[in-house]
Each structure stands twice: as C-alpha cells, then as structure tokens.
Amino acid sequence: MMRSPWRRVLRRASEADRRRSRQDPGTPPPPHDVLRKTRDPSDLRTCVRAGRRGAATSQVAITSCSASETSSALRPAFSRTWFFSSAFLSLSSQVTRCALVLTVLLLSSPWAIAVAQDYEPRHGFWIGVGLGFGPASFACDSCDYRRATANNSSQLGGWAISFGLGGTPSPRLRVGAEYRGWLHGLKDSLPEIELISLLVAMYARDQGGPFLELGAGFSNYSLVQGTGDPIEPVARTASSFVSGHGFGFTVGVGWEFQSEFTPRITYSLGRENTLDASGRTIARGWTHKVLLFEVGIRGAL
C-alpha cells in the first residue's frame, strides 16, 4: 500500500523541528504552532512571515491565520480610508452650503427680481396690431368675376392689417375682439375683405411659446375706390361699387416671443349670400378664402 507523499513531508518537517530544538533550545516553536497560539497579531506581516517560514515545512501553515487576525492586521488601513472619506464628505458639505448661500443671494438680488418681473405670466388687458401678406381666392354659385372683383382672375394677392383688444382670464387664455382688413393693391378699384370677429387665443405656456387662436364674426366684401396711400388706402367720399355682408370665421397658429413679437399664420373663410351693385344682384353664393402670413405685436396695456 503506497503512502501519501504529504505524510512523508510532514514527518520530515517534524523530525527537522525536533533536531533544531535540540541544537538551539531558544528557537521559537514551529510557525504553525505560533500561528495557532496567536490571537491578536498587531500586523499582517506576522502571518506572512510565519506562512513563508512554514511553507518549507508545512503547506497548511499560512491557513492558520484566522479572519479576526486578518481584520486586526488590516485595521490601520481601514482607519486611514475612513479618515480621508470623512474629510472628503466634510469638504463636500461645505461646498454645498456655499452654493446654497450664493443661490439665495442671486435670487434675492434686484437684478433677479427685475428679470422675474419681465417674464411674469400674462395678465390684464392686451392690445395687438399686425401687418400681413397673402392671397385671397373667390368662388360663387353664379357671378361675373370681372364685375365683382374688377379682375378676370378668381385668385388675387394682397396685404392686410389687423387690430385687436381684449382681456386675459388666465395666463394661457386671451379673449377679445379683432378687426382684419385685406386689400388687393392701392389704386383704382380695390377688392376689400373685412372681418370683425370675437377672438379666443390659447397658449401652451404661461409666457411666450406657441398658440392657437379661433375667431368668428361678421364678414364684408366690397369693391372700393383706392387712393394709392398706404395710410389711408380707401377713399372716404366714394361709395362701394359692389358690396355684400355675411358671416366668417378664422383660425390661426403662431409663436409669441418674450419681446411680445407675434408672427402667425391665419386662414379665414367668409360667405356673403349675394353681392349687390347699384341695387342689382351680380353674384349669388359668394365665398372668399384668405391665407395670411402676419407679423405683429400683442402685449399687455
């Protein structure tokens, strides 16, 4: 029966220990005995040295270090790590307190208060003016375009002005009344479209940003005498060559900037049942559509 080589190694190690103890009685006990008796080593090097010395005599010497001994040896390293971590946390808390103090000072400064007032939500009465450009198209059940518009085409380009006034029930809602007038040209006989409507504007934000507006009211189409003056384009003394009254509505989308500059795109539709000229009906089922790109200002009074 073959004997285990480890038994031979252990036997030889024990014999070497006995011979060493006979030669030098002051020699300390074998490393594994030292490690077994040690309960609280002050340094991890004790276990390492003992393990190295015991490696020549026993493969199990290094395993004699217990978990408590290892933790005790590593205790100084943990203490240094805890010291640096505590110092870092203390510094971080000081920086945080300084940042909070600076933030409070900045928010309470007159400059911050002035900026906040500039960006305050919508409120109170508002007024708006605008200038736009865009085409108008005409249709009818029975009519003479040449007689009704002084042009042979059913689609004409033109320019428009608008004025509005109202109130602000909430920061995201404005209501009021608006007048919009569209003209084709400045001289001679001018097709003119007028719309007076109740307006509701809904905003996505309390200040600035996109908005949607809806309006409905009275529509008027007429063929008037132009003066060539953009300030007063229609002659006051001249009567309309053609006129008709009806109902219309408008829808628009736009963007309000912080400076109250308000570009928008509007689409309006109006219908006049009949157009009259010199007491005679020249068109029936008259409708007009206007698409405008408008720039303007709408702000609080």
Give the tens place of pLDDT for each residue, 92-151.
Answer: 466 556 655 665 565 555 544 544 445 578 889 999 999 999 999 999 988 888 888 888
Q: Among candidates 190, 210, 188, 215, which has minimal Cα distance to 200?
A: 215
Burial (CB < 10 A; 0-12, 13-18, 19+), residue 247, is middle
SS3 category, 117:
helix
Instruction: Give the model confidence (pLDDT) of 202-259 as tens digits.
Output: 999 998 899 999 999 999 999 888 877 777 777 776 667 899 999 999 999 999 998 8
Which element (helix H / strand E) includes 167?
strand 155-170
Which phi and psi angles does 65 have, rounded to 5°? -70, 125
Stated pTM of the model: 0.59
Q: Is the pLDDT of residue 155 over 70?
A: yes
SS3 category, 101:
helix
User: What's the pLDDT score for residue 24?
Assistant: 53
Domain 126-300: give its CATH architecture.
Beta Barrel (2.40)
In sequence order, the 6+-apart residues with CB closer than 8 A to the CB of 94 are none
Q: Where are the domains of the chain?
A: 5-73, 76-118, 126-300
Q: Is the pLDDT of residue 261 over 80?
A: yes
Instruction: Give the model confidence (pLDDT) of 19-67 as tens digits.
Output: 766 655 555 554 444 444 444 444 444 444 444 444 434 343 334 444 4
